[in-house]
Amino acid sequence: MRSTYPTYEDASTPADQADGLRRLFASGRRQRLVPVAFNAHVDCTPILLERLAGAFTELGAHTLVVDAADSAPRANAMAEVDLAAAIETLGPNMSYLAARGLPLRHVNSRGSCEAWLNAVEQAAPQADVVLLHANARDLVRLLGRREVRTVLTTTLDPASLTDAYTSMKLLAQRSGLMTFDLLTGMAGAPRAAQRIAERLADTADSFLGTVVREAVWLDKREPATSPATPALARLAANQLLDPEAPDTGFGLAPLTLGSAGAHDPQAF
């Protein structure tokens, strides 16, 4: 049976969407936090992160990438004294903070390190987007009950799909997060990536009651600096819109996922 899953290469975005988002940034609205769950089985994480950050930049946002995952560089000692001084400038609209191990160093008696995340946001007032890359267990401690949509990453490797599902389950059960986006790194196999997205979406709905709202696959052989595909631009734009704000007229409707049948998550 032919899948009803959307063809993302045909996805389009409103012509004035970037201008509308720039108006939001210019109006002084609060920073947008975009968590990305670290996946130890994804071999193209730097490419996926750079492509996602680049998509925000194309929409006019200044993006601060906070890399606190196990794969991140060790944090600069200056970060314990002056967070702002530890933030590196990578370009006119891109900054980077190496933060491996920092969340755990700032856990309070209740197991939370939200205060540290607040300090990071305050240390980068120029950032419209804080792209927070961390292990799911650290995201739980950092996010608290914030209303955000975490981006999961995977490849075509079954172990990476299991890891993405595990992160989703942890965030749903401990932080109450029920909506996610998915970035899949692949090498010239879009149909396989589409099946991966369907499988995770259907399993999540059946076993956790969670939703995969946007699913995008990117060819990891392309340069990390490649322009955003229409599908990636759509994901980035929807991440930047405040879910509790009134309709601005340039938002994008959620996707309707096709049904591929539920799978036992242990079979990933």
Tell me the pLDDT tens digit for each residue of 21-74. 655 555 555 699 999 999 999 999 999 999 999 999 999 999 999 999 999 999
Answer yes or no: is 203 within a domain. yes
For 35-60, letters b (16+ CB in 10 Å) and e give bbbbbebbebbebbbbbbbbbbbbbb
Q: What is the pLDDT of residue 13?
A: 47
* Mean pLDDT in residue range 122-146: 96
Residue 103 lies in a domain: yes
- Residue 7 maps to a domain: no
Question: pLDDT per residue over 61-108, tens digit each?
Answer: 999 999 999 999 999 888 999 999 999 999 999 999 999 999 999 999
The whole-angstrom separation of Cα 140 and Cα 142 is 6
Q: How far apart are CA 13 and CA 33, in angstroms?
A: 22
Q: Which domain holds residue 182?
A: 12-243
**What is the total count of domains within the chain?**
1
d(CA 168, CA 147): 15
The confidence score (pLDDT) of residue 128 equals: 97
Query: Is 201 a member of any domain?
Result: yes
Residue 212 lies in a domain: yes
Provide φ and ψ at 127, rounded to 5°. Answer: -80, 125
In a domain, 147, yes or no: yes
Query: Residue 49 falls within a domain, yes or no?
Result: yes
Whole-prediction pTM: 0.86
Q: Does residue 170 sit within a domain?
A: yes
More confidently predicted of 9 and 2: 9
The helix (H) or strand (E) run that includes residue 181 is strand 179-186
Does residue 261 have a pLDDT over 50? no
Residue 214 pLDDT more than 50? yes
Residue 214 near residue 238 (C-beta atoms within 8 A): yes
The CATH number of the domain where 54 resides is what?
3.40.50.300
What distance in Å separates the CA atoms of residue 76 and residue 74, rounded to the nearest whole number?
7
